[in-house]
A = this chain, B = another copy of it.
Amino acid sequence: MRLSTKGRYGVTAMMDLAIHDNAGPVTLADISQCQGISLSYLEQLFAKLRKNNLVEGVRGPGGGYRLSRPADQINVAEIISAVDEKVDVTKCSNQGDCQNGERCLTHDLWTELSDRLYTFLSGITLAQFVNRPGIHELAIQRDKINGRFILARRQAEMLNQNRHQQSN
């Protein structure tokens, strides 16, 4: 019984977006470099996240990805389902035709297990996780090492205004 790296990468990357949520879109290049995941692989994962309405992409320079909903409305079960296909440990995908067209002896066991798994995971939102004590500080440290910055929205906007003023 295991979680594939897809699921782990997905959740970790989404947490990254959540942490930097107020600093504009996050590029996959950043995440790739920070977490040592290949860019193309991340692109594939984010294609799935986008199809499941969990993120939205912004093209062009200064673009990247941002959460498509507030972090307290995205839970871990959704993310894993999106990238990892499903949270389901039954053989028959809960169709009940596991053994020669009938339910196998252990069908109910797997169904119940799947349910509990899903319930557990859907109770954990990105917001809950990001707001854990220490997480934010840890993220800032990491960002410094990696040359990234967590900007408050106001700072980001000021920066934008400055750019516009300079160009005009």
Contacts and interface: CB of A to CB of B under 8 A. Distances in A.
Given A1-B4, A5-B91, A12 B106 contact: yes
A117 interface: yes
Interface string A66-109: 00000000001000100010111101000000011000111011
Nearest to A35: B99
A23 interface: no
Query: What's the dominant secondary structure at chain A's contact region?
Result: helix
A34 to B, nearest CB: 9
Nearest to A4: B1
Contacts of A99: 35-36
A124 B138 contact: no
B1 A117 contact: yes
A76 B109 contact: yes
Contact of A106 (B11, B91, B100): B11
A110 B87 CA distance: 15
Copies in the complex: 2
Interface residues of A, number: 39
A106 B1 contact: no
Contacts of A135: 105
A20 to B, nearest CB: 12
A124 B121 CA distance: 20
Interface in A29-44: 35-36
Nearest to A19: B105
Contact of A138 (B12, B84, B88, B105): B105
- Ranked nearest first, the 7 interchain pairs of A and B with the lowest CB-CB distance are A3-B89, A1-B3, A1-B87, A12-B106, A11-B106, A116-B120, A15-B105
